[in-house]
Structure 1
Amino acid sequence: MMDAEEEDTKSRLAPDVTPNRRLPWFTGIELLSDTNQNKHFLPTGLEGIDALLGGGLRQGQVTEIAGPSSSGKTQVCLSSATHVVDRNFGMVLYLDTSNSFSPFRISCFVNQLHPSLPKELKETSLQTTMSNIYCQSVFDIFALLDLLHHVETTLKHTLGGSKLCLLIVDSVSSVIAPVIGGKNSQGWCMMASVGVLLKRIAYEHNIAVLVTNHMVGGENGTLKPALGESWKGIPHIRLLLSHGTGNNRGTATVSKHTLMASGRTANFVIGN
Structure 2
Amino acid sequence: MAPLEALALEYPLIDSNFRKFCASHGIFTVEDFLVHDLYALAAFAEQDCSSDELKQGITQVLSILDNQHRPWLNGLELLENAEQKKHLSTGCERIDVLLQGGLREGHVTELVGPSSSGKTQICLQAAANVAKKYAGMVVYLDSGNSFSPKRMAQFLSRSFNPANSEVNQILERVMSSIMHHSVFDMFTLLDLLHQLLHDFKSQICCQVRMVIIDSLSSLISPVLGGGGAHGICSINTIGTSLSSIGHALMVSAGFLLKELAHEHNLSVVVTNHMVAGEAGASKPALGESWKNIPHVRLLLSRYHVANACCISILKHPYLETGKTVEFVIT
TM-score by length of 1: 0.88
1:108 corresponds in structure 2 to: 154
Please state whether the residue corresponding to 2:190 is helix, strand or coil. helix
Change (3 A) 1:89 1:258: farther
- Report which structure shows greater RCO (CA 8 Å, sep ≥6): 1
Report the CA distance between 1:244 and its aligned residue: 3.0
Q: Distance in 1 between matches of 2:163 and 2:174?
A: 15
Alpha-carbon distance between aligned partners in 1 of 2:306 and 2:160, rounded to the nearest angstrom: 23
Q: Could you tell me which amino acid in structure 1 is paired with residue 300 of structure 2? A: L
* RMSD (CA atoms): 1.9
Report runs of 4+ in structure 1 exceeding 6 Å deviation: none
Amino acid at match of 1:140: D
Q: Which residue of 1 aligns with 2:212?
A: 168
The structure whose Rg is larger is: 2
Please tell me whether the aligned partners of residues 61 and 207 of structure 1 are also in contact (alpha carbons under 8 angstroms): yes
Q: Secondary structure at the match of 1:224?
A: strand
Q: What's the counterpart of residue 78 of structure 2?
A: 31
| Matching residue of 1:123 | 168
Determine the C-alpha separation between the residues in 2 that align with 1:216 and 1:74: 18
| Shift in CA distance, 115/72, structure 1 to aligned 2, threshold 3 Å | farther
Say if 1:110 and 1:125, in contact at 8 Å, map to a contact too. no
Q: Does 1:157 align with 2:202?
A: yes
TM-aligned CA deviation for residue 247 of structure 1? 3.3
Structure 2 residue 129 is the aligned partner of structure 1 residue 70: no
Q: 1:225-260 CA distances to partner (integer Å, 9 max, x unpaired)?
A: 100001000000000000035432210010000002
Is 1:239–1:255's contact at 8 Å kept on the other side of the alignment?
yes
> 1:35 Cα shift?
1.4
1:251 corresponds to which residue? 310
Check if 1:205 corresponds to 2:249: no
The residue correspondences of 1:23-102 to structure 2 (distance < 5 A) are 23-37=70-84, 39-102=85-148
CA distance 1:221–1:136, shift in 2 (3 Å): same
In the alignment, the residues of structure 2 paired with residue 81 and residue 252 of structure 1 have an alpha-carbon distance, to the nearest angstrom, of 18
Contact persistence 1:94–1:136 (CA under 8 A): yes
Say how many residue pairs are matched.
253
Consecutive unaligned residues of structure 1, counting only runs of 5 or more, are 1-13
**Inter-partner Cα distance in structure 1 for 2:246 and 2:163:** 50
Q: Which 5+ residue runs of structure 2 have no aligned equivalent?
A: 1-28, 35-64, 227-239
Structure 2 CA distance for aligned equivalents of residues 117 and 259 of structure 1: 41
Whether 1:236 and 2:295 are equivalent positions in the alignment is yes
Give CA-to-partner distance per residue, 1:36-56, whole Å, 9 cap, x none.
12x100010111211111111
Greater alpha carbon shift after TM alignment, 196-205 vs 216-225: 216-225
CA displacement at 1:194 relative to structure 2: 0.3
Q: Which amino acid letter does the alignment assign opposite residue 202 of structure 1?
A: A
| Cα distance in structure 2, aligned partners of 1:194 and 1:259 | 24
Superposition TM-score, scaled by structure 2 size? 0.73
1:89 to partner: Cα distance: 4.3
Give the whole-Å Cα distance in 2 for the aligned partners of 1:145 and 1:167: 14
Asked whether the equivalents of residues 105 and 265 of structure 2 are also in contact (C-alpha less than 8 Å), the reply is yes
**Is this contact kept in 2: 1:42–1:89, CA < 8 A?**
no
Matched residues in 1 for 2:30 and 2:184: separation? Answer: 22
* Paired AA for residue 57 in structure 1: L
Which one-letter code corresponds to 1:30 in the other structure?
E
Matched, 1:180 2:224: yes
Distance in 1, matches of 2:282 and 2:70, equals 36
- Sequence identity of aligned pairs in percent? 49
2:326 is aligned, of 261, 267, 271, to 267
